Structure 1
Amino acid sequence: MLNRKRFFNSASEQGQLLPTYTSDLVPEDHLARVINEVVDVLDLTPLYQKYSSEGGKTYHPKPMLKILFYAYAEGIRSSRKISKACRENFVFIYLSAGYKPDHRTISDFRKNNINIVKQLFKQIVKLCYQLGMITIGKISIDGTKIKANASNNNVIRKDDLEKELTNIEEQISQMFTEAESVDKQEDITYGVDKTGEELPDDLQKTQARKRKIKELLAELDKQGVDKMNLHEPEARFMKHHGRIELSYNAQAVTENQVIIAYNLNNNEVDKDQLEPLIDELEETASELLEKDEYPLENVKAATDAGYNSGKNLKRLNKAKIDAYIPSELSKVQAKERHGEIPPRRFTKDKFRYHEKGNYYECPTGKKLLPVGKRTVKLATYTRDEVVYKGQACHQCPYQKDCTTSKTGYRQVSRFSDYDRLREQIDQKLKTEIGKAMLKYRLKDIEPTFAQIKQAVFGHSPFLLSGVRKTNGEFGLSCIVHNIKKIRTYLISTNNNTILADIATLKLRPT
């Protein structure tokens, strides 16, 4: 019988006594409390400066920032859903200090303050450093593609527009030709009962379309692309997850899964993204480590092969960073060792360079000596090369396998800085430290991106559009990721004064 079942008593039909303060409903180690304390110690001067003392009252930016941080931490990015939570969710009510902003207010707050996200992020990094979570001693660098707020379908293509423009110009020419061939030229050209100063509707529409196409072609030229989305013109087609989608390239530097630098743009190539990250990292390290000269000296850094270029290796060397970057060639060599591809007997990597004596040794033991220098112009920089030439190629039984040169002599170019740095890194990667650094990267930055994509974005695209705004939105995700790490770190250290530790730190300028 149902009346014999034992259930907890329900209080739905009875009065319930709730705490006087919403804070009493929030556990001491709840993420919302950490966000509350973190925002309280931030220097919000850049935020306050955006407000005027004139006009009507507005919501205080501090609770608004707390709301936004917690919403992103919970994967809630819709301004309407955030507004609803501020009315119904006691955690949001606690953080909002009783504010009930509508969705437009929340959307405008995010949009109007997206430019100061980087400043707030740097303060969070400083907080992590003061708590002992990072030392800027061993870092990982990587990038990930995040889908743009745009459909792959609503795309214009340059070749299609050029064809349409040609057709339209032919149509316009035909209209005037027909107008000249009839007796009532003015009626056809200007329209019946018109003053003679107007054009027929069909001709006006055609010429308006021509102007629009020219505007679109000009925008394509400005963006330097052959196709783009009309509603998200700054997004680019990038390959990720086995598909090609309109996306942005998000970059980050991590240590112990704490993000210490980030950037985002619409360039798909990772090797072009390293220098801005190092510039930001040098600035951050200089402040935290109080080192004006070479703040990143001896810092160990691991990246994947996508960042291996002469330009990047020179930049890392200039900063005195202890870099561990495999080359694309190393992947080929690994496949060769494992028998996945046929042996490559006479590729450049089979020629050994001897610094003492300044010559190359070919696979058969013969020397290649320097015969000249040249400068090669690449897309974004120039490269100096030294050319080495074989001396006994005509007597070699492998000549035809080794070279296709008309002279019959094998030549090898040595890139003055790149090859030396690459060889040094290749040797380091063979050491136990080198192997450990590559494993560290896999456990450090790749899980970080996975956590952000799942927790903040929910494997959904950006909510905002354009490089500037998506950069800010990615920055917000980096901030809340780090705040989550702060909470985890303090709990994992069995710290009973989780909030007191944050409150004692000083981020505001003295």
Structure 2
Amino acid sequence: MAKRLVNVDRDTPLLLPPSIQEWVPQDDMSRFIVDAVGLLEERCFGYNWRGSGSEQYPPRMMLALLIYCYANRLFSSRRIERATWRDIAVRYITADTHPDHDTIAKFRRENGTLIKTCFLEVLALAREMNVAKVGDVATDGSKLEANAAKRRVKTKQELQTELHAVEARVESLLQQAEQTDRSEDYTVDGNRLPAALGDAVARRDKLQAALALLDSNRLRDSQKRDKQRAGFDPDGPGDPPRVIEAASGPDDRLNLTDPDAKLLPGKKGGYLPAYNTQIAVQADSAAPLILASDVSDESSDRRQLAPMVEELMKNHPQTKRVLVDTGYDNTAQIYQVERVHGVIVYCPPEKCGRVAKPKARETRARRRTKQFREGMKACLRGEFGRSSQTLRATTVEPVFSWIKHTLGFRRFHLRGMEKVRLEWDLVCLVHNLSLLHRVKQGRERALPA
């Protein structure tokens, strides 16, 4: 019986030049991303108007390239560069140009404002598509690993001990060099330090800089806490935030790879250098759109509600109800958010295991706190309150699940709080565009043939 096989000819050139437009389906996400980025105004982009240097890649193309590659689990600039040769959809976005990994990394590193602007424009697009709705918002946080190793975490005492040892070695090497100069008539190169001495001096400078940064971070945290204490309402419930000493202690830690990352507890136990990521999601299980995002270095969510709601009201001022879990139980901050922004916070109070003594004096502050917490419980017993936690769990938590499992984004690839916030904004932007693309596809399938 004769064989009938498709002719696979890799040697004969094509009769006509191929068109990338024909190789990318009309409903492909790459086309949707290019159209969405095309909505950005020209003033949003930064160009080299001097005309010097090599020709620059269009910022629209570079931004679309980043978004599409992140949506397809390509986070490394080198892997993105490789995709410009291997991936047809990526070649469609770049119009068959191939920016190198340095150009891609530099663009990502320097365009945080552009990514934030695109995030807001995508929210406007969602409103035009009737996906963004006025109503309830669910907020939650999750820990994501930093781009740093745990073994690079040092306490202040360890840094000081190592600094003393390095200083002693520098002094010893200087004495040896001086003795060598006296015993010899000349040196090979009098303008250059010996290799061992140069390494020791560089190490000493790094340790001194790390100790100075440790003190600077502690002072920054102390000033931030003082600002929170100044904004505390003494007539409201709760206690003012505790004071943070401005001077660092011997047990204060610093990661030498990423100084802004803190040791945060992981779900599987232990501590890892990580960041506390926050999102505010539209409480609609059919379209859980991310409306605001933030990153913190604090292990607890107790003080994250106020900054998140403040960021949320910039993007979505129509919010009326905010749903959070017990981790946000901070009566002073909940009272502040409800008073300043006019929203209702649905938060299950923590179960307190302490029992007050029968003759214990109840202060006025404790009485106000008790009354406020009773109001929180009564709010949860209402018609909407009974279903609020189920609604929260089916909206915001699946978004984190999508980011970690479907997108595969489990750790940051940039270092430093500013760049980590940039990358988190990019991930949230990818989620929203992926969601809008799925909604668009679903509506097109529902149309009659």
Shift in CA distance, 72/172, structure 1 to aligned 2, threshold 3 Å: closer
List aligned pairs for 1:207-226, cutoff 5 A: 212-224=206-218, 226=252
Q: Which residue of 2 aligns with 1:320?
A: 342
CA-to-partner distance for each residue in 1:21-60, whole Å, 9 max, x for gaps?
Answer: 312222222211211211111234222x343242142111
Secondary structure of the structure 2 residue equivalent to 1:94: helix
User: Are 2:406 and 1:455 equivalent residues in the alignment?
Assistant: yes
1:479 is displaced (CA, Å) by 0.6
Shift in CA distance, 85/220, structure 1 to aligned 2, threshold 3 Å: same
Q: Which residue of 1 aligns with 2:306?
A: 275
User: Are 2:156 and 1:130 equivalent residues in the alignment?
Assistant: no
Mapped to 1, the partners of 2:134 and 2:111 lie a distance apart of: 29
Q: Give the one of 326, 329, 336 matched to 1:305.
A: 326
Name the count of aligned residue pairs. Answer: 401
Shift in CA distance, 455/411, structure 1 to aligned 2, threshold 3 Å: same
Q: Which residue of 1 aligns with 2:423?
A: 473
Mapped to 2, the partners of 1:84 and 1:175 lie a distance apart of: 47
User: Are 2:276 and 1:249 equivalent residues in the alignment?
Assistant: yes
Mapped to 2, the partners of 1:162 and 1:60 lie a distance apart of: 48
Mapped to 2, the partners of 1:417 and 1:168 lie a distance apart of: 56
Secondary structure of the structure 2 residue equivalent to 1:315: helix
List aligned pairs for 1:130-279, cutoff 5 A: 130-165=128-163, 192=183, 212-224=206-218, 226-242=252-268, 243-255=270-282, 256=284, 257-279=288-310
1:8 is displaced (CA, Å) by 4.9
Mapped to 2, the partners of 1:416 and 1:283 lie a distance apart of: 34
Question: Is the Cα contact below 8 Å between 2:258 and 2:416 reproduced in 1?
Answer: yes
User: Are 2:361 and 1:411 equivalent residues in the alignment?
Assistant: yes
1:187 is displaced (CA, Å) by 7.4
> What RMSD over aligned residues (CA atoms) do the two structures have, in Å?
3.4
Contiguous gaps of at least 5 residues in structure 2 = 219-247
Mapped to 1, the partners of 2:58 and 2:199 lie a distance apart of: 50
Q: Which residue of 1 aligns with 2:355?
A: 347
1:172 is displaced (CA, Å) by 9.1
Question: Is the Cα contact below 8 Å between 1:274 and 1:307 reproduced in 2?
Answer: yes
1:213 is displaced (CA, Å) by 3.7
Shift in CA distance, 119/422, structure 1 to aligned 2, threshold 3 Å: farther
Mapped to 1, the partners of 2:376 and 2:29 lie a distance apart of: 42
Normalized per residue, the structure richer in strand is 1
Q: Which residue of 1 aligns with 2:232?
A: none
Secondary structure of the structure 2 residue equivalent to 1:263: strand
Q: Which residue of 2 aligns with 1:435?
A: 386
Shift in CA distance, 81/163, structure 1 to aligned 2, threshold 3 Å: closer
Q: Which moved more, 1:35-44 or 1:409-418?
A: 409-418
Shift in CA distance, 207/240, structure 1 to aligned 2, threshold 3 Å: closer
Mapped to 2, the partners of 1:417 and 1:18 lie a distance apart of: 80
Question: Is the Cα contact below 8 Å between 2:291 and 2:312 reproduced in 1?
Answer: yes
Contiguous gaps of at least 5 residues in structure 1 = 180-185, 287-294, 333-343, 349-401, 404-408, 498-510
CA-to-partner distance for each residue in 1:122-156, whole Å, 9 max, x for gaps?
Answer: 11112112211121301100011111111111222
Question: Is the Cα contact below 8 Å between 1:19 and 1:25 reproduced in 2?
Answer: no
TM-score by length of 1: 0.70
Higher Rg: 1
Shift in CA distance, 54/270, structure 1 to aligned 2, threshold 3 Å: same
Question: Is the Cα contact below 8 Å between 2:261 and 2:416 reproduced in 1?
Answer: yes
CA-to-partner distance for each residue in 1:54-100, whole Å, 9 max, x for gaps?
Answer: 21421111111111110011010111221222122211111112322
Mapped to 2, the partners of 1:166 and 1:138 lie a distance apart of: 56
TM-score by length of 2: 0.79
1:496 is displaced (CA, Å) by 7.5
1:416 is displaced (CA, Å) by 6.5
Question: Is the Cα contact below 8 Å between 1:93 and 1:99 reproduced in 2?
Answer: yes
Q: Give the one of 115, 118, 136 matched to 2:116.
A: 118
1:160 is displaced (CA, Å) by 1.6
Question: Is the Cα contact below 8 Å between 2:261 and 2:273 reproduced in 1?
Answer: yes
Mapped to 2, the partners of 1:19 and 1:172 lie a distance apart of: 66
